[in-house]
Chain A
Amino acid sequence: MQELKKKTKYLRALKAAFPYTIPIFAGFWFLGLTYGIYMNVSGFSFWYPMLMSLTIFAGSVEFVAVNMLLGSFHPIQVLVMTLMINARHLFYGISMLDKYKGTGWKKIYLIFGLCDESFSINYTADIPEDVDKGWFMFFVTLLNHFYWFFGATLGGIFGFFIHFNTEGLDFVMTAMFVVIFMEQWFKDKKHTNALLGLGLSLLCLIVFGADNFMIPAMIAILVVLTLLKKPMEKEVK
Chain B
Amino acid sequence: MTLTQQVITIVMVIIGTMATRFLPFLLFPAEKPTPKYIQYLGKVLPAAVFGLLVIYCLKDVSIFSGSHGLPELISITVVVALHWWKKQMLLSIAGGTICYMLLVQLLF
Contact = CB atoms under 8 A, between A and B. Distances in A.
Interface in B28-64: 28, 30, 34, 37-38, 40-60
B25 A97 contact: yes
Given A90-B23, A167-B101, A95 B49 contact: yes
Given A20-B89, A205-B59, A180 B96 contact: no
B65 interface: no
Interface residues on A, range: 35 or more
A94 B57 contact: no
Nearest to B100: A171
A88 B49 contact: yes
Given A56-B17, A94-B42, A221 B101 contact: no
A75 B80 CA distance: 43
A169 B49 CA distance: 23
Given A65-B13, A82-B16, A172 B93 contact: yes
B24 A61 contact: no
B1 A73 contact: yes
A128 to B, nearest CB: 15
Interface string A169-191: 10111111111111111101001
A10 interface: no
A207 interface: no
A101 interface: yes
A218 B104 contact: no
A78 B12 contact: yes
Of A23, A100, A101, A168, chain B has the most CB atoms within 10 Å of the CB of A168
Contacts of B75: 171, 174-175
B20 A87 contact: yes
A4 interface: no
Interface string A75-90: 1101111110011111
Given A56-B14, A79-B15, A184 B52 contact: no
Contacts of B56: 201, 214
A130 to B, nearest CB: 21
14 contacts: A75-B9, A94-B42, A94-B45, A96-B24, A100-B25, A100-B30, A112-B21, A168-B101, A174-B54, A181-B51, A193-B48, A194-B51, A221-B49, A236-B40
Interface of A: 19-20, 22-23, 26, 51-52, 55-58, 61-62, 65, 68-69, 72-73, 75-76, 78-83, 86-98, 100-102, 107, 111-112, 114, 116, 120, 123-124, 165, 167-169, 171-186, 188, 191, 193-202, 205, 210, 213-214, 217-218, 221-222, 225-226, 229, 232-233, 236
Interface of B: 1, 5-6, 8-10, 12-25, 28, 30, 34, 37-38, 40-60, 71-72, 75-76, 79-80, 83-84, 87, 89-90, 92-94, 96-97, 100-101, 103-105
